[in-house]
């Protein structure tokens, strides 16, 4: 029944949903952080290559 747990005594057992929720929160934040790090590293590499090329030209 809809909202049946409102009729029961004590809090509903919704621990799994809480775990899922926080898994999403920390998971997504972690993924974004990793993506920032990866992009940062790739850019750093590009920068070094470009600087090398420029150095050779001069």
Partner 1 sequence: MDSKPRLLTIIDIVTVVLLLIATYMVFFYAPQEAVMGDVQRVFYFHVAAGWVGMLGFIGAAVAGIIYLIKKDRKWDIVGLAAVEIGIVFIFINIVTGSIWARPIWNTWWTWDPRLTTATVMLLIYFAYLMLRQGIEDPDRRARFAAVYAIVGSLSVPLTYFSARIFRTIHPIVIGSGDPNATGSFDMTPMMLQTFMFGLLTFTFIFIDLFWHRIRLGRKADQIEQLRLKTME
- Please give the residue ranges that form the binding site for partner 1 (CB under 8 A): 2-3, 5-6, 10-15, 17-18, 20-22, 24-25, 28-29, 32, 36, 39-40, 43-44, 46-47, 50-51, 53-54, 57
Q: How far is the CB of 36 from partner 1 (least distance, A)?
A: 6
**Helix and strand element counts for the chain (H, E):** 1, 0
Q: How far is the CB of 30 from partner 1 (least distance, A)?
A: 11
Q: How far apart are CA 57 and CA 53, in angstroms?
A: 6
Alpha helices per DSSP H over 1-58: 15-57
């Amino acid at each position: 029944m809809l909202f049946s747990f409102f009729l029961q005594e004590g809090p509903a057992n919704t621990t799994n949903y809480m775990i899922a929720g926080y898994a999403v929160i920390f998971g997504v934040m972690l993924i974004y952080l990793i993506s920032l790090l990866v992009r940062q590293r790739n850019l750093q590499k590009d920068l070094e290559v470009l600087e090398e090329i420029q150095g050779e030209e001069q």
